[in-house]
Amino acid sequence: MKKLLYYIEFGILGMIVWVILYENLSLYTVISGLLLGAGAALFANIFLTTEKLTSAYRFNIPMLAVFAIVLLFRIFKSGLYAIPDIIKGRCRTSIIDIETKVPEGLAATTLANSITLTPGTVTIEKVGQRIKVLCLNSKTNNPVEAAKIINGSLEKILIKAAKHD
């Protein structure tokens, strides 16, 4: 039963990505997205990994939806602050090493990629739970304070979204 739920979860994620890429909410697009998402998970589970995906990547879909909404909000908010500074040429860069509490693996990589999507920050390197970030006009060089500013609520949401059976 757990495996079936796992494939259904990946099918739902695949459907969401498929609908966004096609920009179409027709029944055909939804069903093909569900089948492709579940099929991709099945294919990866059989041919691409040594560890079974069903045990390696568990996640909570409602929390991932919250994560996506918060990330979009942060992207727009950061853009409002970063773009005027870039246009006016008031950019001071700094590199900050931060440590995250997000579990290593898919969740930590998602956080690192989310940092890069946010205007004004770029993930330079990720090793385990340590992330090196290039920041525009950082308010602090203290790694603990910088981690609170950069990760914000994304880290807390990803910790809740990462299921560990």
Task: Dump pLDDT digits (tens) for 109-148.
Answer: 888 999 988 888 899 999 988 899 998 888 877 778 888 8
Q: Report residue 165's pLDDT band, with 50, 70 and 90 as the boundaries.
A: very low
Indicate left, alpha or beta for 75 from its phi (over 0: left) and psi (-120 to 50: alpha).
alpha
Q: Average pLDDT in the 35-50 region?
A: 83
> How many Å apart are CA 143 and CA 138, to the nearest integer?
11
State whether 9 and 84 are in the same domain.
Answer: no
Q: Is 0.75 surpassed by the pTM of this model? A: no
Q: Are residues 45 and 107 in the same domain?
A: no
- pLDDT score, position 54: 58
Position 53 confidence tier, pLDDT thresholds 50, 70, 90 = low
The pair of three-digit structure tokens given for residue 142, joined into one six-digit string: 């203290």
- Predicted local confidence at residue 47, as pLDDT: 82
Judgement on whether residues 131 and 94 belong to the same structural domain of the protein: yes
% of the chain with per-residue pLDDT over 70: 91
Tell me, yes or no, whether 100 and 39 share the same domain: no
Mean pLDDT of 21-50: 86
Q: Verify that 95 and 118 share a domain, yes or no.
A: yes
149 and 93 in a common domain: yes
> Based on the domain organization, do 51 and 69 belong to the same domain?
no
- What is the span of the domain harbouring residue 133? 61-163
CA distance 114 to 70: 11
Do 81 and 144 lie in one domain? The reply is yes
